[in-house]
Chains A and B, each alone.
Chain A
């Protein structure tokens, strides 16, 4: 099964990706967390630590300076540009490389190409996408079973969320809106108005998630019972239980 996470920068894509990945792994799933953001941060939300996250990104960017050798195979890619995160999640940094070798597995492949390439049989792949709608626009059937569109109650975030929902609807994909940092009914109302009757989960404003952001830790490590974290863990459970078309 393949899940991708999209939305405006700063709305909480990485927190959602990281927390769901950890929750799925904790429940016994084989999880590959793919950081496809041009500003990779997924390691922080998985609980790998800020400096460790930057080290992994440096290995990836070493491709541009020639310090990192290229990799031809998918397994090698997961090995070379990845590391283990808590609960057995495998984190792989797949951010775009500016001077990519055309056709090279490790640097010339787009996020959507990788989602096709990586074998998801018996495992769950979670792709934390770049901010905006670039990758969502290029998604086709088979790239993702579910698109999670993360939105906050701001005009800018909802402008992007609405377009991501429309694009996914247009190609007949399944989309779930993750309404994040919701404090009150007014917040929820503006989100509902923007995305229509789309399937939605509501993550309340959560001090534990804010604390995790400030401390560079995984929210699930700060407090797995915090209200916002619990919603994400429940969402992970629902996703794991979903039937995947053969």
Chain B
């Protein structure tokens, strides 16, 4: 009761963290490889015995394809939110964050549960508006869901420099910054780190350098960004082939160098073997 009262008067106050599971959000420029890495991490962590909730936060196609769940034309959470008499969006009575996850998350391969924000279609944002609002409200309350305390929560965020800062992943304790060794990708990553630094100071970044063909690239990216390195994923035609076919890397080429490298990242995260 007391907690609820505080939450009502101070919407920005955070409950003391109890979660024992990893809380991750994947950020970076469009095309850097966020979805492939998110999907492969989520499934690998599930194979390692964790219960995993994967969050597809992008209204454009991404994680749902790469994890092997496919894109639905439905608006997954439309039944979970409605406007109140003042026109403000609210979760429907009887649906809290826990219930929403239980009811609206769907099964993805390897036992991962996947919650999707829903996709923008040719009619624009409106048909997906309720789902969008519900998703946002749910992810803002995930910290309160005790039954998820020991789950891994892993969100694939929309591309661009502002998402991390504009509170699209309040659950995240660690941002995984996916960067390829191009200037556009590096500048985007620097913008993400700088904008986030102005808004919050309690989250950590770990760098994943993707599509690497040359070890010098890793040094160059890391030096430019000054973010501790989690690991490196090599450029790999198997990723290109699976992305062309629209299937999960783990299903198309589980033993490819990229899949193995991402599995290594999952292992490091799992073991808490993270450079700070």
A residues touching B (Cβ–Cβ < 8 Å)? 8-11, 14, 38-39, 41, 44, 50, 53-54, 98, 131-134, 137, 153-156, 159-160, 163, 166-167, 170, 186-187, 190, 213-216
- Asked if residues B244 and A44 are in contact (CB atoms below 8 Å), the reply is no
Which A residues lie within 8 Å of B182 (CB)?
Answer: 213-214, 216
Given contacts A10-B31, A213-B183, A214-B183, contact A155 B122 (CB under 8 A): no
Given contacts A39-B159, A132-B60, A133-B120, contact A156 B65 (CB under 8 A): yes
* Alpha-carbon gap, A76 to B244, bound state (A): 45
- Asked if residues A39 and B191 are in contact (CB atoms below 8 Å), the reply is yes
Task: Name B90-147 residues within 8 Å CB distance of A.
Answer: 120-122, 124
- Asked if residues A155 and B243 are in contact (CB atoms below 8 Å), the reply is yes
Given contacts A53-B187, A156-B243, A213-B182, contact A10 B32 (CB under 8 A): yes
- Asked if residues B160 and A131 are in contact (CB atoms below 8 Å), the reply is yes
Query: Closest 9 CB pairs between A and B?
Result: A10-B31, A9-B30, A155-B246, A216-B183, A213-B182, A154-B243, A9-B159, A10-B30, A156-B61
* Alpha-carbon gap, A186 to B245, bound state (A): 11
- Asked if residues B71 and A159 are in contact (CB atoms below 8 Å), the reply is yes
In the complex formed, the residue of A with least CB distance to B192 is A39
Which B residues lie within 8 Å of A133 (CB)?
Answer: 60, 120, 122
In the complex formed, the residue of B with least CB distance to A153 is B244
Interface residue B62 (Cβ < 8 Å from any Cβ of A): yes
- Asked if residues A155 and B184 are in contact (CB atoms below 8 Å), the reply is no
- Asked if residues A8 and B29 are in contact (CB atoms below 8 Å), the reply is no
**Proximity string of chain B (207-237) to chain A, C-beta cutoff 8 Å, 1 when within and 0 when not:** 0000000000100000000000000000000
A7 CB, nearest partner CB in chain B, Å: 9
Which A residues lie within 8 Å of B121 (CB)?
Answer: 163
Interface residue B181 (Cβ < 8 Å from any Cβ of A): yes
Given contacts A153-B244, A166-B122, A187-B244, contact A8 B183 (CB under 8 A): no
* Alpha-carbon gap, A160 to B60, bound state (A): 8
B26 CB, nearest partner CB in chain A, Å: 14
Given contacts A39-B188, A131-B159, A213-B183, contact A154 B30 (CB under 8 A): no
Task: Name B148-163 residues within 8 Å CB distance of A.
Answer: 159-162
In the complex formed, the residue of B with least CB distance to A96 is B162
* Alpha-carbon gap, A44 to B190, bound state (A): 15
B residues touching A (Cβ–Cβ < 8 Å)? 29-32, 35, 59-62, 65, 71, 120-122, 124, 159-162, 181-184, 186-188, 190-191, 217, 240, 243-246
- Asked if residues B187 and A44 are in contact (CB atoms below 8 Å), the reply is yes
Which A residues lie within 8 Å of B186 (CB)?
Answer: 50
- Asked if residues B243 and A41 are in contact (CB atoms below 8 Å), the reply is no
- Asked if residues B30 and A131 are in contact (CB atoms below 8 Å), the reply is yes
Q: List 20 A-B contacts (CB under 8 A).
A: A9-B31, A9-B60, A10-B30, A11-B31, A14-B184, A39-B160, A39-B161, A41-B184, A53-B187, A54-B187, A54-B190, A131-B60, A155-B65, A155-B245, A156-B35, A156-B65, A159-B61, A160-B60, A166-B122, A186-B244
Which B residues lie within 8 Å of A131 (CB)?
Answer: 30, 60, 159-160
Which B residues lie within 8 Å of A163 (CB)?
Answer: 121-122
In the complex formed, the residue of B with least CB distance to A156 is B61
* Alpha-carbon gap, A14 to B124, bound state (A): 24
* Alpha-carbon gap, A10 to B184, bound state (A): 9
- Asked if residues A50 and B31 are in contact (CB atoms below 8 Å), the reply is no
A193 CB, nearest partner CB in chain B, Å: 11
In the complex formed, the residue of A with least CB distance to B58 is A132
* Alpha-carbon gap, A153 to B239, bound state (A): 12
* Alpha-carbon gap, A213 to B71, bound state (A): 31
- Asked if residues B122 and A44 are in contact (CB atoms below 8 Å), the reply is no
* Alpha-carbon gap, A50 to B183, bound state (A): 7
* Alpha-carbon gap, A214 to B71, bound state (A): 32
B137 CB, nearest partner CB in chain A, Å: 21
B52 CB, nearest partner CB in chain A, Å: 22
* Alpha-carbon gap, A44 to B191, bound state (A): 15
* Alpha-carbon gap, A215 to B106, bound state (A): 43
In the complex formed, the residue of B with least CB distance to A65 is B198
Which B residues lie within 8 Å of A170 (CB)?
Answer: 122
